[in-house]
Chains A and B, each alone.
Chain A
């Protein structure tokens, strides 16, 4: 089952002819995922890696190939427009990898998506991986920039705002022999499409997922809201980690959304909310895998 995507999901990539998009499109093909189309305005009719057709518009790509998910690798000035184009073309899921989109663009995109059925993951995120069952998890669905080979198909759901912390957690789980159902990077921007809470709900409803790792960081109150929901509603064990306890207030720590402002968004408040919800909070990032083992009892 997994959530959001599985090995049959048909993927298209907007920005496939850029160096960043192209590199990860190739890695997605190498992983055995079903990358069926690319979109770059003005390059319709060409092919990526001699196999994947490129279209001028997302509408053409969807109608010709039946792609249901679009990954956005478009540069920041054009990324908001690219997301809206994908939504307009009727995809189910848009995964925005792009880092550095102006926050007002994302504000408008979210407002414009209010009545749409499409879900947005990201922006500024590593994407989604539902591991496959082959060697080094080959044959799964890799959308975005995560290293596929560190995964292993299994029963742990992972949700995180940070790319490298996700990889760190996944790597530890795999080393411990604990595979993953789906790993979702929701991104480090202040306005994003999908929250921790949204993903917890999906994992809770997914029969394949038996335990969850939730990784957060300073800024905003999304982790607190997710913990509050989990306390009442989630019947699966959860382990967590929050980064940024030593970050100085008022400074943006790399991610646009990682900022403590007006006393809100501190690591202390998030960790307290998670512990209050019965979530096993790891002391440090090296302890995330073991924390899940403890949570599972």
Chain B
């Protein structure tokens, strides 16, 4: 799960991670009031999850989702051109994202940019702090070109961050005196936030020093462990469904694991591994998968019906492949779900079904006895070929 920049700022403030002064605003008036409390260099930023805001374009023609102004009235003017408008960046896709809030903050003067992140590293099975003197750029590029400029500190999973580890990283970034002290406080807060909120990653890029000697987190990216949200209702509330594919939001309501893609062959599968493999084989057979969809090992008829409706709500979809290996799951439950869904929606595109496993004969009979127009397949490879052939 991701959160907005202003929400990240609020979390930072709670954990003592220094950030530039600023506020979030819902209206141009609020933006004016927020700006009035700041100096004469003020930045107004559209709040969407996607990157590339600065170079983005609003659908009303207004250029740029990040603007620096020098007074409160200008801040209000810029905010009025962003709020309620749709911003298109290289990460949003052509449909763009609706901007409901702007952040109004002190546009700090930057002396030097750094990179700082805490992430849960699967190889070391521990939190790892990544720091670099190269900030404000893509860290993966730094890792590829100048890996010696990246420091990694593996933190003991049970002991947590130790003072000597902070000193080591501070020295590697070249901090001393008061900046070292400020960095130490910031890192300690950042680590505490990471652990307390069950993050899988918190990335501060850039971390900056200012000419007046401050160390500040200028921009941040969060990734929370979805599996831990049950114990963080306050974090779960930060979830903004308008930032997500509406099909994924709908699927989540029915406990379906759905990820929308750009292709035209939809698939419905039980099991995450088999669902991935089904996407792969669609591509291999010359088609393009429209989605990942795992209905799980214990899917009900209702879930299957809803899964079908979500698949069919995508106008790109020209064909459907159902691939079920019912180990314990009853193939007949899937079959009944398909029939029920087809009763409710008008199925006018090819449907290829491969059923195998538990109670498969009953499942095949349910499908055969129904009015549903479908093509039966023997194996997954056979099914993929049939669905690709059916739409071309």
Contacts and interface: CB of A to CB of B under 8 A. Distances in A.
Interface of A: 20, 24, 27, 76-77, 100-105, 107-108, 110-112, 145-147, 150, 160-165, 167-168, 171, 188, 190-191, 215, 217-221, 241, 243-248, 251-258, 262-263, 267, 283-287
Given A102-B228, A107-B120, A283-B284, A254 B272 contact: yes
Nearest to A257: B122
A167 B327 contact: yes
A284 B158 contact: no
Contact of B280 (A164, A167, A244, A252): A244
Interface of B: 120, 122-123, 125-127, 140, 143, 156-158, 195, 198, 200, 225-228, 230-231, 257, 259, 261, 269-277, 279-284, 289, 292, 294, 297-298, 325, 327-328, 356-358, 379-382, 384
A225 B195 CA distance: 29
Contacts of B156: 111
B123 A287 contact: no
Given A164-B271, A191-B125, A257-B122, A171 B279 contact: no
A160 B277 CA distance: 13
A147 B122 contact: no
Contacts of B283: 245-246
A77 B328 contact: no
Contact of B273 (A105, A171, A191, A243): A243
A147 B280 contact: no
Nearest to B144: A263
A112 B158 contact: yes
B279 A285 contact: no
B122 A253 contact: no
A150 B357 contact: yes
A4 B274 CA distance: 26
A101 B227 contact: yes
Contacts of B227: 76, 100-103, 256
A254 B294 contact: yes
A85 B391 CA distance: 54
Contacts of B328: 24, 27, 145, 147
Contacts of A220: 122-123
B276 A254 contact: yes
A110 B276 CA distance: 28
Given A164-B327, A284-B280, 11 more contacts: A24-B328, A27-B328, A76-B227, A147-B328, A150-B357, A162-B272, A162-B274, A164-B271, A164-B273, A168-B325, A246-B261
B193 to A, nearest CB: 13
A116 to B, nearest CB: 14
Given A247-B276, A253-B272, A284-B380, A164 B325 contact: yes
A217 B225 CA distance: 20
A252 B157 CA distance: 24
Contact of B357 (A77, A147, A251): A147
Contact of B327 (A150, A161, A188, A246): A150
A283 B273 CA distance: 15
A104 B274 contact: no
A253 B276 CA distance: 7
Contacts of A218: 276
A287 B379 CA distance: 10
Given A104-B198, A147-B357, A190-B122, A164 B259 contact: no
A253 B292 contact: yes
A51 B39 CA distance: 76
A258 B272 contact: yes
24 contacts: A24-B328, A27-B328, A103-B227, A104-B120, A107-B127, A110-B125, A147-B358, A160-B273, A162-B272, A164-B271, A165-B274, A165-B277, A167-B357, A188-B272, A191-B125, A219-B122, A243-B274, A243-B280, A245-B283, A247-B279, A254-B275, A254-B276, A262-B140, A286-B380
B259 A102 contact: no
Contacts of A164: 269-274, 297, 325, 327
Contacts of A241: 277
A71 B225 CA distance: 24
Contacts of A190: 120, 122
Contacts of B297: 145, 163-164
Contacts of B226: 252, 256
B225 A108 contact: no
B271 A104 contact: no
Nearest to B284: A284
Contacts of B269: 164
A191 B121 CA distance: 9
Closest 8 CB pairs of A and B: A162-B273, A164-B271, A254-B272, A147-B327, A102-B228, A164-B274, A286-B381, A165-B273
B381 A163 contact: no
Nearest to B354: A286
A44 B269 CA distance: 39
Contacts of B200: 103
B192 to A, nearest CB: 13
A15 B63 CA distance: 58
A168 B354 CA distance: 13
Contacts of B357: 147, 150, 167, 171
A64 B125 CA distance: 35
